[in-house]
Amino acid sequence: MYRTRLGGKLDGDVLAYVSSMADDAAIARHDILGSIAHTVMLSESGLVSRKDASAILGALLAIKPGSLKGGGGAEDIHELVEAKVVARAGDAGRRLHTARSRNDQVSLDIRMKLRDDINSISALAAELVGALLKVASRHTKTVMPLYTHLQHAQYGTLSHYLLAYADSLLRDIDRLASAYGRIDCSPLGASAIGGTSLKIDRRRTAGLLGFGGIAENSIDATSSRDHVAEYAADIAIMMSGLSRMAEDLVIWSTSEFAFIELGDAISSPSSVMPQKKNPDVLELTRAKAADAIGQLVSILGASKGLATGYGRDLQQAKIPAWRASQTAAGALAVMRAVILGMSVSKDGMARATSSGYLDALEVAETLVADNGVPFRDAHGVVARLVRMAHDAGVGLGELDAGQLRKAQAGIRIPKGALVRAIAQAGPQKALQRRKSRGSAGFAEQSRMLRSRTAALGAARKAISRRERVVSRAYRVLEQKARRLSSG
């Protein structure tokens, strides 16, 4: 439609190469809505007559976004929508692109889609947090080992672990909410790069589309994609967290650990080994996190070397952004199913706490708390005990009086204190005693569950508030367009 200067049609292979039609299906509806808002504003500003606006709006409303697939020779959705409007509304349609460029248009569509994606992905993330809290509430007394370097570290509770990932996801939701504020600015009216001499009202189109504000500087509005990179970074960060959780669950579901058994509905069989129940969904979550990181890198790579102003490179940055949304939506839904469907072996977890000297730090801290022993001394004594017990292949409680005496040689510890400390060191007593804020201690579990449930409620409210602003704006805009097109 724009080839007057060039003459002739675009070569077929070149059209396939430059076309963004396949990726534009995702922004078809946004493109039409953006055009509707633009037309309403043009009419209100007196740049297009009521009659012409009415014809254009009628044509825009008649387009079914889902039908805009093939492209019919158009290079992108913007050209195709305009061509359809011209075909239907005739000369009036030739006024649609007044005071507008595909550069502000595509930037608008991307921002509108990312608003939707942030809302739907945040809602899915909130669902996963809900699942984590639900399972956590059943396991506030389920003891397990905590690991550092994947070596036994301290006694823990399963709820504490699940709450850790709830916190991580709540931060992901928060990060997306913050990015939303920067994305929720309308670039429409920036034109190709430098604005327009026609008297448009940029705030009006922004308002009609439910934007919180405008991306003011027309150079910035058309040529920056930092908000797209920011979105992809937030997704990559979230996926990295999910990947770590997936890795834990893969390990926990091995026969060696046997902490959990994955639900049948999410497990994969082997084509040859009849006994297999494989955690493929978790493995894919790990690998898809790598995709998400790659998507961020693609976006940054496509934009980092661009001379200021729109360059077609930016078209390529849409693809990884869309992919990031797809990846995250799939992973969040699947991880929720995994969490809700897994069965937990309390016995398996409890059994694992009896080996690996998880009581070592408990004994040392008891000596500090009850007997005022300097921590470094307590650490030294218990380390000696662990060494002796390890060599003898027994637990700390099985060492004899002579060994205990030997371990505390040269360190001032009241008589009997070490025996008492060891006797108090089981997981139940230790987790009863552990009170530090945010710890694995039993008391902290119920407090954190309550506070995260409240945080989840607030996050859900904020998400639906944002969804309502957008859907209401679109509804009102479409009603207005229908009225104007029939009037």
> For the chain, what is the radius of gyration of the CA atoms?
31
113/115 with CB nearer ligand ARG: 113
DSSP E strands in 302-409: the ranges are: 343-344
139/225 with CB nearer ligand ARG: 225
Phi, psi of 146 (to 5 degrees): -100, 150
Q: How far is the CB of 18 from ligand ARG (least distance, A)?
A: 8
Residue in 160, 95, 106 with CA at minimum distance from that of residue 133: 160
Q: How far is CA 117 from CA 171, 227, 322, 469, in A?
A: 17, 13, 9, 15
Residue in 309, 108, 34 with CA at minimum distance from that of residue 193: 309
Residues 6+ apart with CB under 8 A from 178: none
Instruction: Tokens 């589309």: give the residue.
Output: 209
Residues that bind ligand ARG (CB under 6 A): 20, 76, 78, 102-103, 106, 310, 312, 314-315, 318
105/157 with CB nearer ligand ARG: 105
Residue in 139, 181, 201, 192 with CA at minimum distance from that of residue 164: 139
161/310 with CB nearer ligand ARG: 310
112/128 with CB nearer ligand ARG: 112
Q: How far is CA 184 from CA 64, 111, 179, 409, in A?
A: 25, 7, 9, 68
For residue 20, give the 3-state DSSP assignment: coil
Q: How far is the CB of 117 from ligand ARG (least distance, A)?
A: 16
122/222 with CB nearer ligand ARG: 222
Residue type, 382: V
* Residue 353 token pair: 């706490």
Q: How far is the CB of 40 from ligand ARG (least distance, A)?
A: 22
270 is catalytic: yes
Q: How far is the CB of 314 from ligand ARG (least distance, A)?
A: 5
Q: How far is the CB of 22 from ligand ARG (least distance, A)?
A: 11
Alpha carbon distance 352, 142 (integer Å): 12
149 is catalytic: yes
Q: How far is the CB of 76 from ligand ARG (least distance, A)?
A: 3
* Residue 283 token pair: 């493995």
Q: How far is the CB of 225 from ligand ARG (least distance, A)?
A: 10
Q: How far is the CB of 80 from ligand ARG (least distance, A)?
A: 10
Alpha carbon distance 234, 324 (integer Å): 10
Alpha carbon distance 145, 142 (integer Å): 10
Handedness of CA 338, 158, 291, 313 (dihedral sign): positive
User: Catalytic one among 178, 268, 270, 355?
Assistant: 270
Alpha carbon distance 404, 37 (integer Å): 81
User: Catalytic one among 149, 255, 271, 436?
Assistant: 149
55/106 with CB nearer ligand ARG: 106
Q: How many residues does the chain have?
A: 487
28/314 with CB nearer ligand ARG: 314
User: 214: part of which helix (H) or strand (E)?
Assistant: strand 213-214
Do residues 385 and 396 touch, judged by C-beta distance below 8 A? yes
CB atoms within 10 A of CB 291: 17
Active site residues: 149, 270
